[in-house]
Amino acid sequence: MTGLLSGFLLAFVGLSGGLAVGSGMVAFLVVLDIIPRLAQISRSYRSIRLYEAAVVLGAVFFTVTDFFQWKIRLFPLSASLLGLFAGCFVGMLAAALTEVINVLPILAKRIRMEEYMIWLLMAMIFGKVFGSLIDWLGLVQ
């Protein structure tokens, strides 16, 4: 009996956590206006439903693959292609967040580096790239 109750409790907590994280992600995307901004930049307002469907289907697909621990056998170069798409998404998300809260101009003003803004940006970009490469290549154990 306790096994059944702990199973229900585990399912309830897992579902609640998933709903909370999913709702937070949707709210985050809505607040940042990622999809409308992408349509505005690319001048493709007619495809906005496709963008929305791609985000939803991508989230559902990768949730299912993680949940069921699917293994997909692809050619070795496909990892770089998938990494490129993931990097584009994370980059757009970071750029949208920065644009919304205007964190870089405020940071540059507070640390008195307004004239060195391009160097600050480059340091952040190269730090992220090199840190990711070190992690992905397994140079640090």
* Other residues' Cβ atoms within 10 Å of the Cβ of residue 52: 14
In a domain, 43, yes or no: yes
Give the lowest-confidence range in 1-5, 51-55, 69-73, 97-101: 97-101
Does pLDDT of 101 surpass 70? no
In a domain, 88, yes or no: no
Residue 109 lies in a domain: no
pLDDT at 99 over 70: no
Residue 75: band (very low, low, confident or very high) from pLDDT cuts 50, 70, 90: confident
* 96 lies in some domain: no
Q: Cβ(55)–Cβ(38) under 8 Å?
A: no
Count up the domains in the chain and report the number: 1
Lowest mean pLDDT among 68-72, 83-87, 135-139: 135-139
Q: Choose between 109 and 141: higher pLDDT.
A: 109
Q: Is 66 a domain residue?
A: yes
Which range marks the domain in which residue 12 is found? 1-71
Reduce the secondary structure of the chain to three states and give it as a string.
CHHHHHHHHHHHHHHHHHHHHHHHHHHHHHHHCHHHHHHHHHCCHHHHHHHHHHHHHHHHHHHHHHHCCCCCCCCCCHHHHHHHHHHHHHHHHHHHHHHHHCHHHHHHHHCCCHHHHHHHHHHHHHHHHHHHHHHHCCCCC
Q: How confident is the model at residue 5 (pLDDT cuts 50, 70, 90)?
A: confident
Q: Does the residue 46 lie in any domain?
A: yes
Whether 115 is covered by a domain: the verdict is no
Catalogue the E-assigned strands of the chain.
none
Q: pLDDT tens digit string along 58-68? A: 888 888 888 89
* Residue 8 maps to a domain: yes
